[in-house]
Chain A
């Protein structure tokens, strides 16, 4: 158990809808990262927060947004959903602002999003 908790495990919704994915980092970790894993693709970095502030942005669509709350949990909001948004969404956390050799990423179990 990595200590990173993601909810829900599965989510099925229709195109055009909006969903919210939730992540609780490991106790003590200040950084939260969101990744998207589509079929036949590796993990694509979406966005990172550190202690409540956005730190880095990757290939995140404008329809997607995220935030990190004072208790350090994070939410990823996906709106105007399209079929292509179906994927596994992972949250990861690390102790430091920047992951390092001594503070690598710890991943949650992911949320499987299916858009129909």
Chain B
């Protein structure tokens, strides 16, 4: 079975500082995709960043970047220059093409940016 684990239920960071959210997953497959979603108080799920497993280069989207360690099955999200608007629940997600491309989500990390 595929699982996604986010071991940090809650985190906080000072505004303008950097924070890293951890995510590990378990699969025996070699071809898959990884995503980070953000769920602010508005409850909308917003795609933050995505990574293809066959790409060694870590994905970057503005202040958001990932540290993808395939051998360790780790996919952490780094938020630089944290802003108050980054306060949200962050979900790590995992998708494999050969399971109908269904998404498997972690339980989320609640991030609070402190002014």
| Cβ contact within 8 Å between A43 and B105 | yes
- A45 to B95: give the CA distance in the assembly, Å: 12
Interface size on B, residues (CB 8 A): 24
Tell yes or no: A62 within 8 A of B by CB: no
Q: Which residue on A lies nearest to B45, using beta carbons?
A: A107
Q: Which of A40, A99, A107, A112 contacts B95 (CB 8 A)?
A: A99
Residues 32-48 (chain B) with a chain A CB within 8 angstroms:
33, 35, 37, 42-47
| Nearest CB in chain B: distance from A109 CB, A | 5
In the complex, the chain A residue whose C-beta lies closest to that of B52 is A101
The interface size bin for chain A is 20 to 34
| Contact residues, B10-44 vs A (CB, 8 A) | 33, 35, 37, 42-44
Instruction: Give residues in B with beta carbon < 8 Å to A.
Output: 4, 33, 35, 37, 42-47, 50, 52, 91, 95, 97, 100-108
